[in-house]
Structure 1
Amino acid sequence: MQAHKVEAVLSENGTLVLEGLPFQAGEAVEVIILKKSVSSSQQHGAVNSLQNSLYYYDEPFELATALEDWEVLR
């Protein structure tokens, strides 16, 4: 099964037009409509904001919490 993702906005009368699909005329397709969540687009924006950023850790293998603070060891 070949999948193709398209984002579209419904018109005022509830009509949805999909153009430029990579399928042949007369080919049977399955359509699933999902409402795009706002948090998904915000999350995508947050990932894009980290692109081309450089982060490093001075001591990446050091514990983030002191051993004395671990309740499991008590």
Structure 2
Amino acid sequence: MNAHKIEVVLTEDGSLTLRGLPFHAGDAVEVIILETKTPQHQAAPKLQSETNPYLLHNTQPYRYDNPTEPVALEDWEVLQ
């Protein structure tokens, strides 16, 4: 089964026209129509990453003074 989802806004009561479907003449298809909560013409709220693609711009960088220094040696029971 090949599924294809498309969202359209009705321009006339009780009438729907679908164009550009990936099926050919003679193909048998099943049509299920579901009402959506937010119509396509209403823009969904943008995520922060969509409004500002550079989220870390102008933030303080991380600084590692001695990144290869062993950490928490006193916590290892094997070394005692």
Task: Please give the TM-score of this superposition, normalised by the length of structure 2.
Answer: 0.49
SS in 2 for 1:50: helix
Q: How many residues align?
A: 56
Name which structure has the greater RCO, CA cutoff 8 Å, separation 6+.
Answer: 2
Q: Distance in 2 between matches of 1:13 and 1:55?
A: 44
State the 1:24 CA deviation: 1.0
Amino acid aligned to 1:35: E
State the TM-score, normalizing by the size of structure 1. Answer: 0.52
Question: Cα offset for 1:35?
Answer: 1.1
2:49 aligns with 50
**2:7 corresponding residue in structure 1:** 7
- Deviation, structure 1 residue 55: 4.1
- 2:23: which partner in 1? 23
Cα RMSD for the two superposed structures = 3.0
Contact 2:49 2:55 in 1 (8 A): no
Structure 1, unmatched stretches of 5+, are: 59-74
Q: Which has the larger radius of gyration?
A: 2
Q: Which has the higher helix share?
A: 1
After TM superposition, the runs of 4+ consecutive aligned structure 1 residues lying more than 4 A away are none
- In structure 1, the residue matched to 2:64 is none
Percent of pairs with identical residues: 47
Residue 36 (structure 1) aligned with residue 69 (structure 2):
no
Q: Secondary structure at the match of 1:33?
A: coil
